[in-house]
Amino acid sequence: MTRNSPFAPWIQKPTVETTTFKTVYEQDSIGIDEILRWAQIATLNPSRDPQHFVPGEGSYAKETDLESAAQATEARFSPNVVFLEMKGPDFPPLSFYDLPGIFAIAEMKGDDYLVDVVENLTRKYVNHEKAIIMLALPMDHDIDNSRALRIIRDSNAEDRTIGILTKADRVDLDLQDKVAYWLTVLQGKRQTVGHGFFTTSLPPNVEPQALKAYEESFFRTGAQWPRAFDEFVNRCGVDELRVHVRKQLGEAFTSRYDSDNLNPGSL
């Protein structure tokens, strides 16, 4: 692995090659999440025709369940991108990249090289000067040793970063030192990022349509969330985060396009 070959053993081609996996229409019976998972599996089997993995159509997808296919891929990782393109007359030219999580030790000893590959991949996208970075850090872990935050600092990208503290429902806040620690983070006195930190709570047993009510109850009236955080109530919850992200995207687009041709509120 070198500066000119940051994703070894994968070698970057001189031009981008795009393969259409599946076109989805509104009435399609197969969900987007299932199609994306199969597309990821196809990407991890580079020697085979991707069409074999198309759900409902490909021969391999018809005879193999998702979990078994995911365990039997040729590669464990790929720097190639699986992307979902949505077309419509009112859609802005916006790209959202969901990067793999950075880790210090590979699951298997022979995959240790993946530590550097994933880190190099993250640096590639963080270094985009126009990118708005959403840094998600779980509250049930110490964020002082975050490798992702280190990469952001190395790239001088703090001003473009929105911090997101996740799993607020999983941290023990009965201890005063824990409360004091997270207060310093929310106050911008520790591990600072340009847009400050937002806090979310997304327990797996809460349905998406019930999330807003759950978070309002958890952050505003719940006994588990200390009242010491009340001054940051406008930064608690996915809805508050969504408003801030929409505002940042609106400002980014209106700086590039005539305001008469774009309605930031539609983002």
In CATH, what number is assigned to the domain containing residue 224? 3.40.50.300
Counting as low any pLDDT under 50, the low residues of the chain are: 257-267
User: Cα(216)–Cα(29) distance, rounded to whole angstroms?
Assistant: 34
User: Cα(247)–Cα(12) distance, rounded to whole angstroms?
Assistant: 35
98 and 180 inside one domain: no
Using left for φ > 0, alpha for ψ between -120 and 50, and beta otherwise, residue 200 falls in: beta
Please check whether residue 240 is in contact with residue 225, taking contact to mean a CB–CB distance below 8 angstroms: no
Domain boundary, last residue among 126, 161, 192: 126
Token readout for 194 is 């340009």
256 and 174 inside one domain: yes
81 and 203 inside one domain: no
Token readout for 3 is 């500066």
pTM of this structure: 0.81
Please check whether residue 42 is in contact with residue 83, taking contact to mean a CB–CB distance below 8 angstroms: no
The residues that bridge with 161 in the sheet, in sequence order, are 133
* Neighbouring C-beta atoms of residue 239, cutoff 10 Å: 13
Which residues, at least 6 apart from 164, have a Cβ–Cβ distance to it below 8 Å? 134, 135, 136, 137, 197, 198, 199, 200, 241
Domain boundary, last residue among 77, 102, 126: 126
DSSP code per residue over 36-66:
HHHHHHHHT-TTS-GGGGSTTTSHHHHHS-H
9 and 64 inside one domain: yes
194 and 265 inside one domain: yes
153 and 249 inside one domain: yes
- Note down the domain range covering 172: 130-267
64 and 104 inside one domain: yes
43 and 142 inside one domain: no
Instruction: Quote the number of domains for the chain.
Output: 2
147 and 176 inside one domain: yes
- SS3 for 165? strand
116 and 148 inside one domain: no
Q: What is the pLDDT of residue 1?
A: 62
Domain boundary, last residue among 126, 145, 162: 126
Q: What is the pLDDT of residue 196?
A: 96
121 and 155 inside one domain: no
263 and 136 inside one domain: yes
Q: What is the pLDDT of residue 253?
A: 63
Q: What is the pLDDT of residue 209?
A: 86
